A and B are shown apart, each in its own frame.
Chain A
């Protein structure tokens, strides 16, 4: 297990998540894809700090995970709000603010 192989896996997961963000139309599916990209970034940070023998990367990722939980809670309640008010969670149909 080398640093390069871990980084390659993390980059591939990041790219897959990016595809999901761009291609999917359901708001919750886009949120799930964002989680994938976020997870890939965490994996990159941990792998780099592992290869250097530093602890600070692990602490950074611990804080980042806690912040993501807050982000998901707010994001999902926004989706629930959109479902109630606009009667849709398909992102292309949420065009109320389009100029």
Chain B
């Protein structure tokens, strides 16, 4: 039993970081209608920024906050310099450009920090807490708490504040928002900068768990099954789906993979099953698209003919 709890805790910790990153994608999609493939780049860049700032001698807290601020700036610049000039371009073209941003960012990071995995500075103390025989390292605990709190804080901001209301209106119907006097361009910039800042923090937290490398940007791809599962337009759906996926991955890694490998070794000459947990998100993606394309919380699209 303890083993299962242990897996669940690890899954929730990673899943909450997924949620944080997925919120950013949903936010951008709602506001500008663009599926942002560059989210993975924001995740990776945020982690590298934190790393660079600690190397400059900043305290961990200051480094994380500084990285988030820098990411907000990156997000805003992306919107201003890349998205806004393309406002009238087809959405597919804009999505291709975000893919370009991902490739460009990876190349820049490769040039600056090299291809090797970097030992990420310690942001949280070593050690673990023991709750009912379930050991949770401070890294996992901090990642889970920070992401959950920030996700909830963000949802509350979006739902209950004046700026959140403008954001919701702009996301709901951009033309209507423009017509009733909301500066939708600024709302768009805000959405991109908030989204990039959240992604940057998510990247930093993932780097404390798994180390820092260019591979961190692949998380942007894992986030897509999350938002498809949650429903592309639902922020709370992204949170629920993120947690769900994290837990599923942990259980796959802890239970399904060993079981499957035993099976393979007994009946075939294959020795290892590889990283099954990396396949799970995409299996879910295919399954959800077949069974419930609008996701758990999404709204079914209707079109007047």
Q: Are A and B interaction partners?
A: no
